[in-house]
Chain A
Amino acid sequence: MWTYLSRRLIQGIFTLLIITILVFILTRLSADPLAQYATNPNMTAADRQALRERLGLNQPLPVQYLKWLGLALQGELGKSFFSKQPVSLMISQRLPLTLILMVTAQIITVLLALGLGIISAVRQYSITDNIVTSLSFIGFSMPIFFIALGLMLIFAVQFKLWGLPYLPTGADIWSTKDPLQLIRHLVLPVTSLVLIQTAGYARYVRTSILEVLGLDYIRTARAKGLTERSTLYKHALRNAALPFITILGLDIPYLLSGALVTESIYAWPGMGRLFWEYAQRGDFPVVLGVLLIVSAAVVFFSIVTDMVYTLIDPRIRLS
């Protein structure tokens, strides 16, 4: 166990190192952060050069990388060129809003997917199962902007035209202190995310329950005379839940990264939109900061999920 954990940790650190090199090179090549000043009439070419030197942008890339890495290891992610604010402050402002959106959507998704998955697995090939399976297949093949724009068109634009109570599509929720207002803003983005995500999860739950239901110990349980109900809930679900927990664990870091497309359609000021806005400006401290935090979370949670999995599943022995 401990040797396995330490090996995974070393691997994780190695992976993270590659990630930092990769994102640093790509981000720095992607755009010139000083391009926004190129058309500024108050700035001469000499001024820009001086600024470039002051920010250390004229140094060779490996030197810049090592400096950035050194600071990042101390938790110092630098300042945004555009807003002049520290990156860590900007991220900490956006993170709660992203978490409100993503965690709400995730909880509803998981409950819905479990319910639908169990129903369609237990009544395999029934009408309910066929409907759930078809719908989840369609949802699985659907880009989220299809649903997000559609919901926006119906519940925000048309309802307003028809004089019905309509839902807001993104406004200034920074200043909102009223929880009711926040919930009203959450409805459409959360619904879009839930509809899309449930499709994938429900398919997964259905398959893993069906797999378990075909095993010998379930037949034994039925032969013992257990009711179908307790066979399902006491025996089948426990084992079927194991792979589902893995998927959930691996998806936790993506709650941090937010939903870029949904956030930009509904003007939700979360992490995804922060990344998108600053990537367009070539503001690399912000872009790097977001990428580093999210990727580190991905690596961290994959190790945690592995460990949790070995703890809850006694069949796995680590050597």
Chain B
Amino acid sequence: MSETTITTQVVKLDAESTSIILLTPRQLIWRRFRKHKMAILGMIGVALLLVFIIGGSIFIPLDRANQVDLKANLSGPSQTHLMGTDSTGRDVFNRIVYGGQISLLVGLLAVLIEVSLGTVIGGIAAYYGGWVDIILMRFTEAMLSIPSLFLLIVLGKTFGKSVQTINIFGLSFSGSVGIVILVIGTTSWMYLARIVRANVLSLREMDYISASKALGASNSRIFFSHLIPNTLGAIIVSSTLGLAGAILTEAYVSFLGLGVQPPTASWGNTLTSAQSFIQRGAWWLWVFPSLFIVFTILCINLMGDGLRDAFDPRSGKNI
């Protein structure tokens, strides 16, 4: 290796490091995220999926997804039914389009509940400390100690007794959608609460917090404008991964028949009947909804992985 190449490298490095100093944290994160090819791929995958679901629901009316045609039940993929029909003759392709809406909606709203509960519980435990901390953390540990599927089933049974039909924007949903969102949200906040607590505990001791206290800032001001924004990175990463988890959980719960109830379609409940009819060779009931679930979770997880690396200051060296 000649000496000239080495010097050019040094110069290049220098130019790069000066430009890094000028970057805002947000730009820095976006740069690191962009470097993560798989994460970008995941983002494109999610975008394609959204186009498919939203576009599909423009072209296909909701009635066609819920239309029962007993004469054409359990027929394989064909020209008229691209992905076959289920045991009551409903078109699987149409149900995947509308099921996707429900699955993503359940995922997003459940994560919203998860993030709110996790942030508030973890934050309060860390900020107030003492008995509040002890009781909240024991409660968190208690929730974590019950196997999650068991907890979901018990909660699903508890709330699932009173199911009504909800009408929003002229579309009618089975009330079970709301229950599933509630159940998934209230059983998944525990890890986030621990992360937020650990973060706030270390931030609480910092000088700028003492400074705002000395300036007379109220508890809620310190909490919401100093402590929470500084743990936002951790919250964003775990809510992205939490979204994948929530969609997967919806699939599990609906697969067991405790989740979203027909006629409203979800990816999970499209699969429910697959279990009984796979013995008769109805492979399309299994393969299409499952592939959509796997594809979605995979893309979101890839994005989450990229975000985690982007938010992690330790990965700063390879920009």
Contact = CB atoms under 8 A, between A and B. Distances in A.
A287 B158 CA distance: 13
Nearest to B295: A141
A11 interface: yes
A137 B298 contact: yes
A99 interface: no
Interface string A142-166: 1101100110110011100100000
Contacts of B278: 149, 152-153, 157
Contacts, number: 126
Given A149-B274, A149-B278, A295-B145, A142 B252 contact: no
Given A15-B138, A22-B143, A141-B244, A276 B301 contact: no
B154 A279 contact: yes
B82 interface: no
Which of A11, A26, A141, A153 has the most chain B CB atoms closer than 10 A to its own CB? A141
A104 interface: no
B313 to A, nearest CB: 17
Interface string B95-138: 00000000000000000000000000000000000000000001
Nearest to A299: B145
Interface string B11-46: 000000000000000000000000000000000000
Interface size for chain B: under 10, 10 to 19, 20 to 34, or 35 or more residues? Answer: 35 or more
B59 to A, nearest CB: 28
Contact of B286 (A14, A141, A142, A149): A149
B147 A23 contact: no
Given A157-B279, A276-B256, A15 B141 contact: yes
Interface residues on A, range: 35 or more
A15 B198 CA distance: 19
Interface string A5-49: 000000100111011001100110111000000000000000000
Interface of B: 138-139, 141-147, 149-150, 153-155, 157-158, 161, 244, 248, 251-252, 255-256, 271, 274-275, 278-281, 283, 286-287, 290, 293-294, 297-298, 301-302
A138 B298 contact: yes
Interface of A: 11, 14-16, 18-19, 22-23, 26-27, 29-31, 137-138, 140-143, 145-146, 149-150, 152-153, 156-158, 161, 169, 254, 257, 260-261, 264-265, 272, 275-276, 279-280, 282, 287, 290-291, 294-295, 298-299, 302
Contacts of B145: 15, 19, 295, 298-299, 302
A143 B293 contact: yes
A306 to B, nearest CB: 13
